[in-house]
Structure 1
Amino acid sequence: MLQSYKNIYVARGVEVQKLLEVRKVIEEKIAKLQEELKFYTSLLEVIDKAIGEKSFSTAAQAARQETERPEAVEEVKGRSGEVYATVEVYRDKLRIKFKEPVKVDGLFKRFYLDKFLQKYREEDAREVRQGALRQEEALRYELEEQEGEATAMTIYNYRTEERKREILRVLRWTLEKVYGG
C-alpha cells in the first residue's frame, strides 16, 4: 500500500513539473506579445501623427469654406486688453487670424502646436482607432505661413464648446507669452 502512494506522489510531481514548464513557456510568449503590442501601438501613433500633418482640404471643402459665414466672431485679447487675434467660429472649425505674425518655431510651436493641440489630436486618433470617431472628424489644423511666421491658422473639428474655450484660452496665454516676450 505504501508503494502505491509513493507512485501517485511521484506521478503528481512529474505532472506538476510539466505544468510549471508549460506555464513558463506561456509567460514568455505573453511577454513577447506585450512587447510586440507596444511596438505596434507606437507605430500607430507615429502613423496617426503623420496623417494629421499631411491632411489636406479637398477643392470642394475649399470652395465651401469661401461661401460659409461664421456663426460668431471672437477676439483673443491679452490681460491689458490688446487684441492678439480674431477668431471666426464655424460649426466645425475655428479660423484664427493673428494681428501680428507669430514665429512658428519657438514657444508657439513647442507649446501650443506640439504639446497642447497634439494632446487633442492623440485623443481623437485613439477614438478613430477604437471606431468611435471617423478619421475626417479628428482634430487637425493648418497654418498659413510666410517666411517662418504664421499669419493665420484653421483648427478643424474642435467638436465641443468646452474644447473650443480651452483652445482659445491656451491660445491667449501662448500669444501673451509670445508677444509679451
Structure 2
Amino acid sequence: MEVQKLLELRKLLEERIAKLQQELSLYTSLLEFLDKAIGERSFSTAAQQMAARPESVEEVKGRGGEVYAKAEVYPNYLYIKFREPVKLDSLFKRFFLDKFLQKYREEDAREARQGSISQDEVLRYELEGGEGEAVALKIFNYRTEERKREILRVLRWTLEKVYSG
C-alpha cells in the first residue's frame, strides 16, 4: 500500500513538472515575441548605432597578460580592434572566421529558415583593413551574453596562436 501511494505521488509530480514546462515554454515564446516587437519599434539607423557609446570595453588578453585586442561591446555588435594587423592567410581566417564564426552563422541561418529569428538577426561580420590583413572586426548579431563570451574566448585563443608565431 505504501508503494502505491509513492507511485501516485510520483505520477502527480511528473504531471506538475510537465505542466510547468509547458508554461515555461509559453512564457519564453512570449518574451521572444516581445523582444522582436520592441526591436522593430526601436529601429535605429546604422549611423545612429555607430555614434552610440559602447556598453563596455573588454580587453582580449593572452595568458601572460598581454593585450591582443580591445572589444567594444554594443547592444547588437562587437567592434574588435586588434593590437596589430592580423594576416588573413593565418589561423585567424582558417579557424576563427571560416570555422568558428561560420558555425554560428549556419545555426542562425537555420533558425531564420525555421522562422524563430529574422534574416536580419543572423550573425555576420565585417573586416576592416588593407590587402590581406585585418586591423578590426565587427561582429553583428552576437545575440546573447553567452555567445559573446564564447566569441571572445575563442578569439583570445586564436590571437594567442597567431601572435606567438
Same fold by TM (over 0.5)?
yes
- Of 46, 61, 78, which aligns to 1:77? 61
Given the alignment of the two structures, is residue 160 of structure 1 paired with residue 144 of structure 2, yes or no?
yes
2:135 counterpart of 1:151 = yes
Q: Aligned match of 1:68 in 52, 67, 90?
A: 52
In the alignment, is residue 100 of structure 1 matched against residue 84 of structure 2?
yes
Within a 5 Å distance, the mapping from 1:30-41 to structure 2 comes to none
For structure 2, list consecutive stretches of 5 or more residues without a partner in the other structure.
1-43
Equivalent in the alignment of 1:133: 117
Aligned residue for 1:96, secondary structure, equals strand
| Counterparts of 1:116 and 1:80, CA distance in 2 | 24
How far apart, in 1, do the equivalents of 2:79 and 2:157 lie? Answer: 18
SS in structure 1 of the partner of residue 79 of structure 2: strand
2:74 corresponds in structure 1 to: 90
CA distance in 1: counterparts of 2:97 and 2:63, whole angstroms? 22
What stretches of structure 1 move > 3 A for 4+ residues in a row? none
User: What value does the CA root-mean-square deviation take over the aligned residues?
Assistant: 1.0
Aligned to 1:46: none
Count of aligned residue pairs for this structure pair: 122
**Structure 1: runs of 5+ lacking an equivalent:** 1-59
Q: Which amino acid aligns with 1:69?
A: R
Shift of 1:61: 3.8
Counterpart of 2:53, as a letter, is R
Give the Cα–Cα distance (whole angstroms) in 2 for the partners of residues 140 and 92 of structure 1.
Answer: 11
